[in-house]
Amino acid sequence: GAVVSQHPSWVICKSGTSVKIECRSLDFQATTMFWYRQFPKQSLMLMATSNEGSKATYEQGVEKDKFLINHASLTLSTLTVTSAHPEDSSFYICSARLAGRYEQYFGPGTRLTVT
Protein backbone atom coordinates (compact mmCIF):
# COMPACT_ATOMS: atom_id res chain seq x y z
CA GLY A 1 0.00 0.00 0.00
CA ALA A 2 0.85 3.74 -0.04
CA VAL A 3 2.15 3.89 -3.60
CA VAL A 4 2.83 7.24 -5.22
CA SER A 5 3.57 7.59 -8.91
CA GLN A 6 5.06 10.45 -10.88
CA HIS A 7 4.99 11.17 -14.56
CA PRO A 8 7.15 11.69 -16.49
CA SER A 9 10.18 10.08 -14.88
CA TRP A 10 12.47 12.27 -16.92
CA VAL A 11 12.02 15.15 -19.32
CA ILE A 12 14.26 17.34 -21.44
CA CYS A 13 12.89 20.67 -22.57
CA LYS A 14 14.13 23.84 -24.17
CA SER A 15 14.63 27.06 -22.29
CA GLY A 16 11.45 29.14 -22.19
CA THR A 17 9.01 26.26 -22.44
CA SER A 18 6.75 24.94 -19.69
CA VAL A 19 6.75 21.44 -18.24
CA LYS A 20 4.02 19.72 -16.25
CA ILE A 21 4.78 16.96 -13.76
CA GLU A 22 2.02 14.78 -12.34
CA CYS A 23 1.94 13.14 -8.95
CA ARG A 24 -0.65 10.50 -8.13
CA SER A 25 -1.42 8.51 -5.01
CA LEU A 26 -2.47 5.15 -6.40
CA ASP A 27 -4.04 3.32 -3.50
CA PHE A 28 -4.93 5.97 -0.97
CA GLN A 29 -6.40 9.43 -0.75
CA ALA A 30 -3.83 12.09 -0.05
CA THR A 31 -5.24 15.14 1.63
CA THR A 32 -1.83 16.76 1.49
CA MET A 33 0.85 16.52 -1.16
CA PHE A 34 4.33 17.99 -1.10
CA TRP A 35 6.76 19.00 -3.81
CA TYR A 36 10.50 18.84 -3.26
CA ARG A 37 13.52 19.46 -5.39
CA GLN A 38 16.87 17.87 -4.93
CA PHE A 39 20.19 19.00 -6.40
CA PRO A 40 23.00 16.48 -6.80
CA LYS A 41 24.44 15.26 -3.51
CA GLN A 42 22.09 17.48 -1.52
CA SER A 43 19.09 16.75 0.61
CA LEU A 44 15.49 17.33 -0.33
CA MET A 45 14.30 20.91 -0.22
CA LEU A 46 10.60 21.49 0.29
CA MET A 47 9.15 23.76 -2.38
CA ALA A 48 5.47 23.81 -1.51
CA THR A 49 2.67 22.06 0.30
CA SER A 50 -0.68 21.55 -1.34
CA ASN A 51 -3.97 20.57 0.20
CA GLU A 52 -6.74 19.26 -2.00
CA GLY A 53 -9.02 22.02 -3.15
CA SER A 54 -7.00 24.92 -1.80
CA LYS A 55 -4.06 27.03 -2.89
CA ALA A 56 -0.58 25.70 -2.34
CA THR A 57 1.64 27.10 0.40
CA TYR A 58 5.07 27.94 -0.97
CA GLU A 59 8.31 27.93 0.98
CA GLN A 60 10.30 31.12 1.22
CA GLY A 61 12.28 31.79 -1.92
CA VAL A 62 10.11 29.65 -4.20
CA GLU A 63 8.37 31.67 -6.91
CA LYS A 64 4.71 30.74 -7.00
CA ASP A 65 4.25 32.16 -10.50
CA LYS A 66 7.06 30.02 -11.80
CA PHE A 67 6.15 26.78 -10.07
CA LEU A 68 2.41 26.38 -10.45
CA ILE A 69 0.85 23.72 -8.25
CA ASN A 70 -2.64 22.35 -8.65
CA HIS A 71 -4.14 19.76 -6.31
CA ALA A 72 -7.45 19.15 -8.01
CA SER A 73 -8.35 15.84 -6.41
CA LEU A 74 -7.39 13.64 -3.48
CA THR A 75 -5.20 11.54 -5.74
CA LEU A 76 -3.60 14.02 -8.11
CA SER A 77 -1.33 17.02 -7.80
CA THR A 78 0.52 18.69 -10.64
CA LEU A 79 3.59 20.91 -10.72
CA THR A 80 4.10 23.11 -13.77
CA VAL A 81 7.49 24.69 -14.25
CA THR A 82 6.76 27.75 -16.39
CA SER A 83 9.28 29.40 -18.70
CA ALA A 84 11.92 26.92 -17.66
CA HIS A 85 15.56 27.94 -17.47
CA PRO A 86 18.69 25.77 -17.24
CA GLU A 87 18.96 26.57 -13.51
CA ASP A 88 15.59 24.85 -13.03
CA SER A 89 17.22 21.56 -14.01
CA SER A 90 16.87 19.34 -11.00
CA PHE A 91 15.27 16.23 -9.56
CA TYR A 92 11.67 16.98 -8.55
CA ILE A 93 10.02 14.64 -6.07
CA CYS A 94 6.47 14.63 -4.80
CA SER A 95 5.17 12.99 -1.67
CA ALA A 96 1.73 12.34 -0.27
CA ARG A 97 0.37 12.12 3.22
CA LEU A 98 -2.86 10.68 4.53
CA ALA A 99 -5.09 12.76 6.76
CA GLY A 100 -4.00 12.59 10.38
CA ARG A 101 -0.70 10.85 9.59
CA TYR A 102 2.85 12.17 9.76
CA GLU A 103 4.70 9.89 7.37
CA GLN A 104 5.01 10.86 3.76
CA TYR A 105 5.28 8.46 0.86
CA PHE A 106 7.41 9.58 -2.03
CA GLY A 107 6.98 9.25 -5.74
CA PRO A 108 9.91 8.01 -7.83
CA GLY A 109 10.87 11.53 -8.87
CA THR A 110 11.17 13.39 -12.17
CA ARG A 111 14.53 14.37 -13.61
CA LEU A 112 14.13 17.70 -15.44
CA THR A 113 16.85 18.92 -17.77
CA VAL A 114 16.43 22.33 -19.39
CA THR A 115 18.68 23.00 -22.36
Binding residues for another protein (CB under 8 A): 2, 6, 34, 42-44, 46, 49, 57, 93, 95, 102-109
CB closer to another protein out of 62 and 82:
62
Shortest distance in whole angstroms from residue 62 CB to another protein = 13
**Nearest distance, CB of residue 16 and another protein, angstroms:** 28
Contact indicator for 56, 108 with CB cutoff of 8 Å: no
CB closer to another protein, 33 vs 84: 33
Give CA–CA dist 74/57, Å, rounded.
17
Rg (CA), the chain: 13
Alpha-carbon distance of 44 to 76, in angstroms, equals 21
Q: Tell me whether residue 39 or residue 73 sits nearer to another protein (CB atom).
A: 39
CB of 88 to another protein, least distance (A): 19
> What residues contact residue 42 under an 8 Å CB cut-off, 6+ apart?
none
